[in-house]
Structure 1
C-alpha cells in the first residue's frame, strides 16, 4: 500500500466526500435551475430538484465508498479509481440517451443535460477524492 493510501483516514475521506457532494450538488442544481428557467423538459421528472439531489448524493456516496475501499486495498488507488469512475460514467450515460428520450417530457437534449450532470459529478469526484489536500 502506498504512503498516500495509508495516510487517508476515514475523517479525510469523509471530508473529501462532503466537499465532492457540496460542489456536485451546487453545480447540478444550478443546471436544473437553468434548464427549468429555459423551459427544457419541464415535465421530465428526472430533470427536477428532488431526483437530481437524490441521485447525485447516491453517486457521490458510492464514489466516496469506492475510493475508500480502493485506498485501503490498492497500491495505486488514484489510477484504479479513475478507471472505475470512467467505466461507471460511461454506463451511467446509457440511460440518458436510451431511456430519457422516451420518458414523458423527455428528449435527446434533456438526456444530454442529465449526461452533463453525470460527467460533472464524475470529474468532481475524481478530482476531489484523489486530491490529498481536499480532506485536510
Structure 2
C-alpha cells in the first residue's frame, strides 16, 4: 500500500487520459444502447407524444449522466483506496434516485405512462451498468 497516495500499487492512480478514454467509451456505448431503446420505443408506438422519449433529451441526459459518472470516478480514484467499490455504491444510489422521476413524473406528462417511465428507467439502468463496467475495467492499462 502506498501510504502517500492512499492506494495500493496494483491500483495506481488513474491517469487523466485513461479516465477520458474510459468516459468516452462509456458515453458512446450508453448512447448507442439508449438510441436503440428510443428507436424500438418509437417503432412500437410507446408514448409517441412524450418529449422525454426522443433522441435529443435522451442524448442530453445520457451525456450528463456519463460525464457525471466519469468525474465522480476520477474523484474517487484519487481519494479512496477502493475506488471501484465506492463507485459501485455511489452509482447504485444515484441510479435509485434517478429512476424516481420516471415513475412519479413521467406518467403525468403529456403522452406519458407508467410503461413509458419504465422504458426511460431502463435507459438509466443500462447507462449505470455501462459506466460501472467501463470505468472500473482494468484492461485499460491501469
Q: TM-score range by the shorter chain?
A: over 0.9
Residue 8 of structure 1: how far off its partner (Å)? 1.2
**Matching residue within 103, 122, 125 for 1:119:** 125
Q: Which runs of structure 1 show a deviation greater than 6 angstroms over 4 or more consecutive aligned residues?
A: none
The Cα offsets for residues 41-100 of structure 1, whole Å up to 9 and x where unpaired, read as 011010000000000000000000000000001100000000000000000010000000
Q: Structure 2 length as normaliser, TM-score? A: 0.92
Contact residue 13 and residue 77 of structure 2 kept, 8 A: no
Residue 90 in structure 1 maps to residue 101 in structure 2: no
Unaligned runs of 5+ in 2: 1-6
| Secondary structure of 1:133's aligned partner | helix
**Matching residue within 72, 81, 84 for 1:78:** 84
**Matching residue within 32, 37, 40 for 1:34:** 40
Q: How many pairs were matched up?
A: 136
Unaligned runs of 5+ in 1: none
Coordinate RMSD, CA, aligned: 1.2
- Whose radius of gyration is greater, 1 or 2? 2
Q: Structure 1 length as normaliser, TM-score? A: 0.96
Cα distance in structure 2, aligned partners of 1:17 and 1:83: 18
